[in-house]
Amino acid sequence: MFQKTLTKALFLSLKAPKLVLLAYSFLLLCCFYILALGLTIKSSNLDLLPTNAPAVKKFEDLAKQYGTPNSIVVIVESKSEKLRVNISVQVEQALLKLKSIGAVVYKSPLSEEMLLENDMKRYFAAENYQILLVQPNDTRSNVDQLIPLIYKIQKVVDHFKTKEISIHLAGLPILAKDDQETVLTELPLLGLFSLILIALFMFSVLKNYRFVAYGFIALIVSCTLSLSFTYFIPGHLNLLSSTFLAISFGLNVDYLIHFIYSFEEGIEWIDEKSLKESLLKVLPSMSSSCLSTAGVFFTIAFTEFKGFAELGLTAGCALIVGLFVFYSFFPALLMFSKAKIKTSQAKNLHLDVFGSKKYALFTLLLSLGLCFVAKFQFEGNYLNLQPIQSEAVAWEKKLNADGLYSSNTYLMEIQGAEQAYELSEKLRSLPEVERVQSIVELESYLESEDRLDLLDSQLKKKFKSGDDHYLLYILSSLDLWDDKTAQKLNIKLQKLHDSVTGLPILAELVTELSVKSLRESFYASLVLLFFLLLMRFKNIRLSLIALSPSILTSFGLLGVLSLCSYSLNSISMIALPLILGLALDDGIYLCHAMTQSKQEQVRTRSAVIFTSITTILSFSCLIFTDHRGIASFGLNISIGVFLAMVYSLMIIPLLYQLCVKQSKS
């Protein structure tokens, strides 16, 4: 069905290229209009999690009731306490004029006498700095609403900066803003850089600028269509799915290279006949590799973890769109061109190492050795995904160390003042709990002093609801950014009160669902790929041989990471199922070539090498982003593609000779 659709699209493009190009021109105008409307990028943890998860629902309910716990922290830094206090008052007054801000809290509501009596400080302060907690009106911390607010806050506080006063911003919303800026600024620049590198590489190898230029126009068209499709399904990008353009471009450029190597030697000029013959010649392998890799992504799309599911949907659709563009727009563009275009006679690489059983056996033993040392190591520390020089991360750690504030806070809601007080005391008795913030003791104290009028309405709203429910904020003395440490305390607090939520609980849910989704998608992809190969080759042994580099590469990547003491994170771990599809592409082309002539095998091996190089160029550029999560994803894919190339070129011929040829003889 898929091959028939592509064949019909090819025939139409060859017979009526002008009509096809006009249709694509109209489609691209629609795409540009859609992209001009703006594509939302969501970088909140809540956007990666299923909305029906109990911890997520509880967190969102509390945010609606008491305001978001994800405060923007304004840090006023100065050696002069008097100057700090004066500036803090002015900053609070200026910030409250912004309509998007619900509350600004920076001092205790108690009178001076009460503060002295209870040995308490008026301001939330440490040595040389004090903080203001800014609570946005948006309870769900949507980045598209938070970022304009953060820029407004930055503009306000910049007005108060002097030589004696420094003002900084911290908190989870600032980290989310930094994530989005990475996606919107760094990734497009790195993508453009990888595009230039791949173009230079292709030009140097193929020596035919017009042919390659038309191919790259087709790639840009397919990426534009895919990006516009994302506007409708799923309607936005997240931190994971924002890498799909690199995936799309890195994989779609393979179509161009395999097409170039499909031209029979002796054909010098491109005409309708040679174009049709060459595209039909590689259609079975191209469609199989496209459906196999897209199948892996669509398998991921059915996982529970929304971050993976949305990436799987966008990347899978992008691959299918890319192949359709290549079999419709690209031939129409070639036929519409009035100038004669030479077929790019690509370089064939004659390397003796590929025919050596000795090297093949060594590669097989090496791959098995890497599988033996492979360990699944996962790190869920969100701060370790951020840029090393991030000021917001540095302040997050400092605020936590000084005991003033932590984004990594537990939340508990309980009905009744007496029950809230008892629970607070139980929590304070735990050695892992540094502080419990609630209004219940303050309310009781002010009531005994007959001074409830001092209780600020903003502060009261943050800790108490109208139906006599109290919210407790639990801060730990432990480093809860470390996922293993947080998991132990999570269990303790859940036993104490089953409705506990907060960032440590949500972070554990992200880890749990991402690892679970990875395992499910990995094994489901293996089964799906085997059946797709069986449909393609109609031979169990040949199907297993084509699949073997995918399995060896996935475990080999884990082996390399284990030897280098690198851990996977919630972003880089998506490389594992992706590598399955990438390695399988090589396996399909090489297994098909093994049934052809020696010359065809040489051409296919050369194509596999060049496609691997272009894919590595596409993904390795991600290594240079400041965002360590995305950088580790680029590194993992680059290592995986290199392993897949070596394993496919060395092991498939060996297994084919041992299993298939001997079986036939």
pLDDT digits (tens, 9 = 90+) for 455-469: 777 777 788 887 889
Residue 11's pLDDT band (cuts 50, 70, 90): very high
DSSP per-residue codes, 127-146: TTEEEEEEEES-TT--HHHH
Given a cut of 80, is residue 605 above it in pLDDT?
yes
| pLDDT digits 0-9 by tens, 498-535 | 889 999 999 889 888 888 888 888 888 889 889 988 88
Given a cut of 80, is residue 342 above it in pLDDT?
no
In what helix (H) or strand (E) does residue 330 lie, and over which residues does it extend? helix 329-336
Strand 40-42 and strand 101-105: the pairing is unpaired
Q: What single-letter amino acid sits at 338? A: K
Could you tell me the CA-to-CA distances from 592 to 436, 596, 600 in Å, in that order?
66, 7, 10
Buried/exposed 84-110: b ≥16 CB within 10 Å, e otherwise:
bbebbeebbebbeebeebbbbbbbbbb
Share of the chain above pLDDT 90, in %: 26
Average pLDDT for residues 379-389, to the nearest whole number? Answer: 87
d(CA 590, CA 595): 9
Helix/strand number for the chain, H first, E second = 25, 11
DSSP three-state, residue 339: coil
Average pLDDT for residues 175-191, to the nearest whole number? Answer: 84
Domain limits of the chain? Answer: 1-38+178-346, 66-175+393-482, 351-376+539-665
Cβ atoms < 10 Å from Cβ of 660: 17
- pLDDT on residue 563: 93
- Spell out where 160-221 has E strands: 166-170
| pLDDT digits 0-9 by tens, 153-165 | 999 999 999 989 9
Q: What single-letter amino acid sits at 542? A: L
In what helix (H) or strand (E) does residue 415 lie, and over which residues does it extend? strand 410-415
Q: Do domains 1-38+178-346 and 351-376+539-665 have the same CATH topology?
A: yes
d(CA 297, CA 521): 9
- CB-hemisphere CA count at 13 Å for 125? 21
Given a cut of 60, is residue 339 above it in pLDDT?
no
Q: 351-376+539-665, what's its fold?
A: Multidrug efflux transporter AcrB transmembrane fold (1.20.1640)
Q: Are 618 and 253 in contact (CB under 8 A)?
A: yes
pTM given for the model: 0.87
d(CA 489, CA 175): 24
The single residue listed with the structure tokens 């003491």 is 565
d(CA 226, CA 582): 19
DSSP per-residue codes, 288-312: HHHHHHHHHHHHHHTSS-HHHHHHH
Q: Are 570 and 629 in contact (CB under 8 A)?
A: yes
- pLDDT on residue 207: 66
| pLDDT digits 0-9 by tens, 222-258 | 989 988 888 888 888 887 777 777 777 777 888 888 7
Share of the chain above pLDDT 70, in %: 92
Given a cut of 80, is residue 413 above it in pLDDT?
yes
Most confident of 16-20, 184-188, 288-292, 351-355: 16-20
Closest CA relative to residue 222, chosen from 197, 194, 200, 254: 254
Which is the CATH superfamily of the domain at 1-38+178-346? Multidrug efflux transporter AcrB transmembrane domain (1.20.1640.10)
Given a cut of 70, is residue 266 above it in pLDDT?
no
- pLDDT on residue 646: 92
Closest CA relative to residue 208, chosen from 122, 305, 124, 334: 334
d(CA 225, CA 219): 10
In what helix (H) or strand (E) does residue 577 lie, and over which residues does it extend? helix 575-594
As a CATH number, domain 66-175+393-482 is: 3.30.70.1430
Q: Radius of gyration over alpha carbons of the chain, in Å?
A: 30
Cβ atoms < 10 Å from Cβ of 423: 21
With 0-12 CB in 10 A as exposed, 13-18 as middle and 19+ as buried, what is 364? Answer: middle
The single residue listed with the structure tokens 């399909």 is 588
d(CA 224, CA 240): 19
Cβ atoms < 10 Å from Cβ of 362: 12
| pLDDT digits 0-9 by tens, 550-603 | 999 999 999 999 999 889 988 888 888 888 888 888 888 888 888 887 887 888
Q: Name residues whose C-beta falls within 8 Å of residue 60's C-beta, 6 or more positions apart in sequence.
A: 46, 51, 139, 140
Average pLDDT for residues 291-302, to the nearest whole number? Answer: 88
Cα-based torsion angle of the residue sequence 137, 142, 143, 147 in order, rounded to the nearest 10 degrees:
-20
- Spell out where 47-108 has E strands: 72-77, 101-105
Residue 665's pLDDT band (cuts 50, 70, 90): very low
Q: What single-letter amino acid sits at 205? A: V
Tokens of 487: 């998991």
d(CA 203, CA 216): 11
Across 76-80, 190-194, 352-356, 375-379, least confident range: 352-356
Q: What single-letter amino acid sits at 5? A: T
- pLDDT on residue 555: 93
Q: What are phi and psi of 410, to 5 degrees?
A: -85, 150
